[in-house]
Amino acid sequence: MFLQRRARFAYFLVLPSLAVITLLDILPIIESVVVSLQNQNMGRSNPEAFVGFAHYSRALFEEPTFWTSLWKTVIWTAFSVAGAYLVALGLALLLNMDIWGRTLFRALFLVPWVIPDVATALLWKWLYGDEFGVINFLLTKVGIINKPVLWLSDPLMAMPAVVLVQIWKLYPVMFVVLLAALQNVPKELTESAVIDGAGVMQRFRFVTFPFIKATSIILTLLASIWTFQAFDIVYLLTGGGPAGATKILPTLVYDKAFWGLEMGYASAISLLMLLCLLVISVAYLTIYRTQGLQADEARA
Amino acid sequence: MVGFKDFDRRQAVVAGLGGLFMLTADNASAQAQANLTFWTVRLNTPELSAALKAILNDFEAQNPGIKIKHEPVSGNLVYPKFLTAIRGQTMPDIAEAYSYHPLQFAAADQMEPMDDIIELWKGNGLLADIFSEYAYKKFLWRDHYWGVPYNLDIRPIYYRKDLLEAKGLKPPRNWDEFQAAAIALNDPANGVFGVVFPAGNFHIAQHFYMSFMFQAGGSILDKDGNLVFGTTAKDANVKALTYLTDFATKHKVTPPGIASYNTDEPHTLYVQGRAAFGFGTGGLISRLMKENPALAEKTGILEVLEGPAGPSGKLTAAFYNPMFVWKHSPAKDAAKTFVKWFVQPGRLERLYQAVPGQHWPIFKRDINTDRVKSNRLLKEALDNVVPYSTDFAYPGFGRPEMGVIDGEKMFAAPVNEVVVGAKTPEKAVLDAHEAMKKVFSS
């Protein structure tokens, strides 16, 4: 009886959160599903005409844009997350050591995180400029290049250039979390490994990494979700160009929804994106659980 | 101090009746007062906002029954803001925005026809005083005018008089002369490019292509509003695209990175003195005056070029920006009163003074001001560009689909793709035509 009452009270306590989630997440998703099945061309007077799965069919089978954009989104996400993780891990390992200025550097490395995306894009646009960009200026000054690198104008360079910006934007949050995880690694274990003659790489692989593995999986999952749907940086830096080289799915959705006024089609693409994210998330969580079980078995 | 407990029942009744009376009185005064919301997209810089505020104060002083609440809308968020407002039925009473908004929102059944204002202008001679009939006929769709023009946004070519003179050249007047001059003035040793134009995947790239398209005898629509971009107008459009992109790919007289340029980069390079010819907006005039007045003295504004189409195609892209009224506004009459008052010769002089060159009047009689007479660049733009200005749909009139074609940058893509070598001009034009065709058939 007491437990039942406790459970009822617990449900009562989560009600406000549930209401907010329903209002801000579940209802918009349901609305998106409805919109994706309607014409919803805002430039037409019959937006609510039911069209079934026509928008999905168009995206998946009739126009190659969805697939090319999906591929670019996968590249953008994979390289951004992997790059940011490596940078964050490197810095976290470095600043987990007892070095001079550790507190100052910890604060400094967080700066990119607090800069708004729009300001980040403008800042990097200025850095990447071909004729007045700081990077080309410095590279020319030190004699590494003799003509400007077309960071944002060359279709082969544009994707690496925007990925670099996303890495810069993404690594601080990963750095903070990894640093916290590293501080949970028992010092005695590392010291024992040193006494046993383990090298730096061995210590990292067999002592440190197992302790930050679970954190790393969750962190890269979250970063993948954020990056997969990131929009501002690419849109402001390249507009999806040159020649579509950086046309990732969020920019396609934005163009179709807010310039093409095709809300139905854009909603269908958004829901396909959601499906992709669900697949990624399930894969990640499956790995996470498997790893967790293995760890439990090892401990037992 | 008097607390609630000190009130007796009679006092409470009197206070209640008094409050009710005040509420009723307030409601009555609200009914006499029309409160209008005015969204602006192009008047939001601090200088322009201040000038607009003064104009709105004048209006309210002359029309005490109408209050205007000005709300700026970011240019990057125009569509999200308007579409959300349509869905939530919270559109402003009046708005000024981009060229095709009135027709797009009319197609969504959200706009109030403005036929009465056009009729009024016909009667009082204002219509005849507008520079180009495309200024208002672009808002004509299904027998109604859905917006009225209030402002002109031009796309001139700026040139360095001193560099031309040093080479003994006259300002070019046609395509051949322009190409020869850009090649002759290209001076990489001194960091000066022959010509700088935006070719990034941004809206501005298609504006300049459009000018060359018209000059080659091409267009997007025919006079009946049919899509001809990749059909009957294909050859001319390919010719224009080839001519424009050749500056980058064949003659190599542009900065190498123009494929990522938006509006600002060509402006900046020109202001830094690093371009013999610079494609820009009217706003470059005020940047020059502010940031490099010495260069402003050495700058001229080119007369619109004559291309393969000859004198009949001597046209340039420009945009007559609209004002429009929401169909469901509770104060439509007051909104139209405001529009009629706002769009009149001389009324917006404060805006023109705030940022010289960025905004242009639509009425011919507005050109004889001291402001124009005393500023050579304004005068040159007025003589050499404004009279030749026309709009996207030329030689047709309004089509809501043009908003999508412009919005999705369907003819910026060909410029961008050819400049980076991803497509030939012909393939780029044909692919863009296919994309446009889908918009017309959707």
Question: B146 and B167 share a domain?
Answer: no
Range of the domain at B120: 7-153+319-382
Total domains in chain B come to 2
Question: B113 and B203 share a domain?
Answer: no
Please report residues of B whose CB lies closer than 8 A to that of A147.
256
Q: How far is Cα B146 from Cα A129, in angstroms, rounded to an integer?
A: 41
The verdict on residue B395 lying in a domain is no
Q: How far is Cα B110 from Cα A176, in angstroms, rounded to an integer?
A: 49
Do the interacting molecules here have an ipTM over 0.85? Answer: no
Please report residues of A whose CB lies closer than 8 A to that of B407.
255, 258-261
Please identify which residue in the block is written with the tokens 């080119």: B302
The verdict on residue B2 lying in a domain is no
Please report residues of A whose CB lies closer than 8 A to that of B442.
41, 262
Q: Which residue, B433, B428, B229, B264, is CA-closest to A243? A: B428
Please give the order of strands across the beta sheet that includes B275-279: B193-196, B275-279, B157-160, B299-301
From chain A residues 231-270, the ones with a CB under 8 A of any chain B CB are: 238-244, 255-263
Residue of A43, A130, A262 lying closest to B107 (CB–CB): A43
Question: B14 and B120 share a domain?
Answer: yes
Question: B297 and B421 share a domain?
Answer: yes
Residue of A132, A154, A241 lying closest to B416 (CB–CB): A241
Q: CA torsion angle for B168, B174, B176, B182 (degrees, to 10)?
A: 50
Mutation site, A41, A117, A261, A267, interface B, largest B CB count within 10 A: A261
* Phi-psi sector, A98: left (phi>0), alpha (psi -120 to 50), beta: beta
* Phi-psi sector, B357: left (phi>0), alpha (psi -120 to 50), beta: left
Question: B167 and B199 share a domain?
Answer: yes
Per-residue pLDDT tens digits for A172-191: 999 999 999 999 888 888 88
Per-residue pLDDT tens digits for A245-282: 999 999 999 988 888 888 899 999 999 999 999 998 88
Please report residues of B whose CB lies closer than 8 A to that of A131.
255, 257, 265, 269, 274
Find out whether B261 and B199 touch, Cβ atoms under 8 Å.
yes
Please identify which residue in the block is written with the tokens 């091409």: B218
The pLDDT value given to residue A101: 82
B414 class by beta-carbon count within 10 Å (0-12 exposed, 13-18 middle, 19+ buried): buried
Find out whether B146 and B326 touch, Cβ atoms under 8 Å.
no
Contact A242 B259 (CB under 8 A): yes
Report the chain B residue with the minimal C-alpha distance to residue A155: B420
**How would you label A22-34 residue by residue, b for 16+ Cβ within 10 Å and e otherwise?**
eeeeeeeeeebee
Question: B135 and B265 share a domain?
Answer: no
Q: How far is Cα B256 from Cα B265, in angstroms, rounded to an integer?
A: 12
Q: How far is Cα B128 from Cα B131, in angstroms, rounded to an integer?
A: 8
Question: B266 and B405 share a domain?
Answer: yes
Q: B432: part of which helix (H) or strand (E)? A: helix B425-441
Report chain A's mean pLDDT, rounded to a whole number: 89
Per-residue pLDDT tens digits for A156-173: 999 999 999 999 999 999
pLDDT along chain B (442 residues), means of 10: 48 54 48 88 93 97 96 87 88 92 90 97 95 90 94 95 96 98 96 96 92 96 92 98 98 95 94 97 93 96 97 93 95 96 94 88 85 88 91 84 87 94 96 92 74
The pLDDT value given to residue B25: 47
The verdict on residue B271 lying in a domain is yes
By residue count, chain A amounts to 300
Closest approach of chain B CAs to the CA of A265, in angstroms? 11
- Bridge partners, residue B68, by sequence: B36
- Bridge partners, residue B130, by sequence: B363
What letter would DSSP give residue B237? H
pLDDT at A298 over 70: no
Report the chain A residue with the minimal C-alpha distance to residue B98: A259
The pLDDT value given to residue B396: 84
Q: How far is Cα B159 from Cα B178, in angstroms, rounded to an integer?
A: 11
CA distances from B315 to A175, B182, B259, B329 (A): 57, 20, 25, 38
Grouping H, G, I as helix, E, B as strand and the rest as coil, residue B55 is helix
Domain A56-299, classified CATH 1.10.3720.10, yes or no: yes
The residue type of B266 is P
Q: Which two structure tokens, joined as six digits, stand for A299?
A: 């401990």
Contact A242 B83 (CB under 8 A): no
Find out whether B330 and B66 touch, Cβ atoms under 8 Å.
no
The pLDDT value given to residue B2: 40
Task: Give mean pLDDT, residues A106-121.
Answer: 90
Question: B307 and B339 share a domain?
Answer: no
Question: B281 and B329 share a domain?
Answer: no
The verdict on residue B396 lying in a domain is no
Angle among Cα B232, B234, B235 to the nearest 5 degrees reads 105
Instruction: State if pTM tops 0.90.
Output: no
State the DSSP string of B83-151: HHHHHHT---SEEE--TTHHHHHHHTT-B---HHHHHHHHHHTTGGGBS-THHHHTTEETTEE--EEEE
pLDDT at A149 over 60: yes
Q: B320: part of which helix (H) or strand (E)? A: strand B316-325
Question: B236 and B346 share a domain?
Answer: no
Question: B407 and B292 share a domain?
Answer: yes
The pLDDT value given to residue B251: 97
pLDDT at A297 over 80: no
* Phi-psi sector, B197: left (phi>0), alpha (psi -120 to 50), beta: beta
Find out whether B244 and B254 touch, Cβ atoms under 8 Å.
no
Question: B198 and B327 share a domain?
Answer: no
CATH assignment at residue B233: 3.40.190.10
Q: Which two structure tokens, joined as six digits, stand for A237?
A: 């830096």
> Could you give the percent of chain A with pLDDT greater than 70?
94
CA distances from B153 to B275, B285, B331 (A): 22, 13, 29
Find out whether B43 and B11 touch, Cβ atoms under 8 Å.
no
The pLDDT value given to residue A119: 92
